[in-house]
């Protein structure tokens, strides 16, 4: 009996060990499953519907201490959203990307602990620039809002107008000759639209800005096309258009960045805001060739993601 019992005990023990091993395996699988759900859940909250956006999860480290102008081209896919932070901590948002871009904008504002926007610019009323503007206006106090008087009949435009009313911020129709008074250390001049001269269309009427800090100059060309660029050349001549950094007009479309304009601006750095594998084929190879011909370094949100530029008033550092 003892022997049999002994064998029976041994078999029972082996069975118990097997059960324990299976239980441990099941527990391990359960832990892995929970971990996978948690990771997927976290990812789901960080990413906007278009998962090809790069979402800022931490602030980009500045190259040095001291007062800096920071210009961040957010990655909002096919559209524009540019965040400016002044040396004195003032904030400006130029455009608000397409309709699914709000998560990318909110993430950047959160990372930089920005709770209000001193100035917001809607360069023109197309959906790839004001798509998430209503969300921005609903959730952030805004000091002043700058727009053009080009009306639209789209839903996003009407949503923006309703959100503007609820926000209660002052709204300014913007044209050349104006300066956006934003920070004593930084000059923000409106180059376009040209006051008193009706533009051909919304793109050519879009708000073009020249931002200067110390000796560094940024030209933000919104969706200007060649007609608008030529008008700028006629109005300002070459010298007043020169800049170190050009935010290339209209996402690198071939209808923009004509040779004469690029020759006048002559940027050492050109930045393009466009979506990965966008349906428009932006940026156009001819535009890239024209930029290369003037010796500009090109950065693109579709390949570089979020692009951050720091100016100390003397030099500009780019962190793609
Ligand atoms: Zn656009």
Here the CATH number for the domain that contains residue 181 is 3.60.15.10
**Does 73 lie in the same domain as 28?**
no
Do 314 and 185 form a contact (C-beta atoms < 8 A)?
no
Q: Within 10 A of 70 (CB to CB), how many other CB atoms are there? A: 19
Q: Positive or negative CA dihedral for 16, 17, 19, 24?
A: positive
pLDDT of the residue at 38? 39
Gap from CA of 287 to ligand 1 centroid (Å): 16
Gap from CA of 215 to ligand 1 centroid (Å): 29
**Does 130 lie in the same domain as 40?**
no
pTM of the model as a whole: 0.84
Gap from CA of 304 to ligand 1 centroid (Å): 18
Gap from CA of 271 to ligand 1 centroid (Å): 14
**Domain contains 180:** yes
Q: Tell me 81's DSSP state.
A: -
**Domain contains 64:** no
Gap from CA of 94 to ligand 1 centroid (Å): 12
* Token digits of residue 100: 């699914």
Q: Which residues surround ligand 1, an ion (CB under 5 A)?
A: 128, 223
**Domain contains 281:** yes
**Does 160 lie in the same domain as 34?**
no
Do 76 and 98 form a contact (C-beta atoms < 8 A)?
yes
Helix and strand numbers (H, E) in the chain are: 9, 14
**Domain contains 256:** yes
What domain range is 2 assigned to?
1-46
**Does 123 lie in the same domain as 8?**
no
Gap from CA of 280 to ligand 1 centroid (Å): 11
Rounded CA separation 231/234 (Å): 5
Closest by CA position to 148, among listed 86, 107, 209, 238 = 209
**Does 161 lie in the same domain as 29?**
no
Q: Tell the residue number behind the tokens 């930045």, with chain if given.
A: 271
pLDDT of the residue at 151? 81
**Does 188 lie in the same domain as 39?**
no
**Does 246 lie in the same domain as 154?**
yes
**Does 268 lie in the same domain as 135?**
yes
15, 31, 46: which is the final residue of a domain?
A: 46
**Does 86 lie in the same domain as 33?**
no
**Does 163 lie in the same domain as 76?**
yes
**Domain contains 1:** yes
Gap from CA of 132 to ligand 1 centroid (Å): 13
**Domain contains 209:** yes
Number of structural domains in the chain: 2
**Does 156 lie in the same domain as 87?**
yes
**Domain contains 239:** yes
Gap from CA of 50 to ligand 1 centroid (Å): 17
Per-residue confidence in pLDDT tens, the chain, 320 aa: 333 333 334 334 444 555 555 656 565 555 544 444 333 333 323 333 455 789 999 999 999 999 999 999 999 999 999 999 999 999 999 999 999 999 999 999 999 999 999 999 999 999 999 999 999 999 999 999 999 988 888 999 999 999 999 999 999 999 999 999 999 999 999 999 999 988 889 999 999 999 999 999 999 999 999 999 999 999 999 889 999 999 999 999 999 999 999 999 999 999 999 998 888 999 999 999 999 999 999 999 999 999 999 999 999 999 99
**Does 93 lie in the same domain as 25?**
no
Gap from CA of 13 to ligand 1 centroid (Å): 72
Gap from CA of 186 to ligand 1 centroid (Å): 26
**Domain contains 62:** no
How far is C-alpha 123 from the chain's CA centre? 14
């Amino acid at each position: 009996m003892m022997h049999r019992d002994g064998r029976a005990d041994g078999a029972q023990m082996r069975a118990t060990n097997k059960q324990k091993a299976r239980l441990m395996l099941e527990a391990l699988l359960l832990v892995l499953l929970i971990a996978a759900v948690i990771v997927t859940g976290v990812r789901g909250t960080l990413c906007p519907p278009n998962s090809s956006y790069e979402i800022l999860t931490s602030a980009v480290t500045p190259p040095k201490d001291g007062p800096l102008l920071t210009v961040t081209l957010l990655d909002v896919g096919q559209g524009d959203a540019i965040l400016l932070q002044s040396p004195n901590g003032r904030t400006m948002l130029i455009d608000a990307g397409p309709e699914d871009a709000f998560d990318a904008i909110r993430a950047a504002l959160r990372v930089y602990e920005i709770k209000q926007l001193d100035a917001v610019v809607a360069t023109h009323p197309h959906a790839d620039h004001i798509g998430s503007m209503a969300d921005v206006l609903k959730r952030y106090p805004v000091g002043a809002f700058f727009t053009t008087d080009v009306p639209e009949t789209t839903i996003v435009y009407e949503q923006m107008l309703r959100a503007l009313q609820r926000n209660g911020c002052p709204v300014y129709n913007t044209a050349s000759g104006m300066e956006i008074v934003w920070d004593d250390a930084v000059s923000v001049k409106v180059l376009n639209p040209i006051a008193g001269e009706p533009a051909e269309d919304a793109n050519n009427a879009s708000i073009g800005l020249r931002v200067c800090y110390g000796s560094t100059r940024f030209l933000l060309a919104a969706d200007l096309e060649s007609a608008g660029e030529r008008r700028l050349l006629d109005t300002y001549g070459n010298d007043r258009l020169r800049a170190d950094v050009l935010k290339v007009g209209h996402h690198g479309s071939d209808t923009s960045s004509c040779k004469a304009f690029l020759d006048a601006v002559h940027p050492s750095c050109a930045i393009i805001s466009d979506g990965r594998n966008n349906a428009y084929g932006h940026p156009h190879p001819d535009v890239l060739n024209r930029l290369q011909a003037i010796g500009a370094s090109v950065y693109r949100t579709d390949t570089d993601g979020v692009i951050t530029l720091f100016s100390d008033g003397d030099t500009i550092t780019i962190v793609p």
